[in-house]
Amino acid sequence: MLREIVLLGYSGKFLTRELHGKFYQMVDKLGLTDAQVDEVLSVFSNKDAYLLQKYFFEDALITIGQGQMYRSDKRRLLEESLISREAILNREEIMQKILEGKSIKIEHEELVLNQEICAAILENLDFMFLVSKRNSELLRSRIFIDPN
């Protein structure tokens, strides 16, 4: 459920009535308070998580351009404060595949993250963050408001 909401934002699509309803069915089933709902939704509009993605793809472009692994200080600091050591190692494996031009699995598909794709992701990241933030705002109300 939450995965669907995250993927919706990353695809640049706004929340649907159906997904909004499923979200509140889950909230009711789990007996979440308004404070707990706010905590869950804060993940979708977390500026640091957005910046971490931005820095990763900026570093990917530098890695491709220089032909060697690159990890900026700003990405390193955010990674160390936000994600587990295991997640950091996983991101480094992905960066190594980017450097080598090898495909990575994203949602049941194999994709080579080349310079063109990394640049396109960076170019669209601001929009994806805004959509995710808007979806989070829409989910804060039990009444569905059509974002279109």
For each of the chain's 148 residues, which pLDDT tens digit applies?
Answer: 777 888 888 788 999 999 999 999 999 999 999 999 998 888 777 889 899 999 999 999 999 999 999 999 999 999 999 999 999 999 999 999 999 999 998 778 899 999 999 999 999 998 988 998 899 999 999 999 888 7
Nearest to 146 by CA among 20, 57, 62: 20
Instruction: Name every residue whose Cβ is closer than 8 Å to that of residue 118 and which is 6 or more positions away in sequence.
Output: 57, 60, 61, 64, 98
33-65 per-residue burial string, b: 16 or more CB within 10 A, e: under 16: eeeebeebbeebbbeebbbbbbbbbbbbbebbe
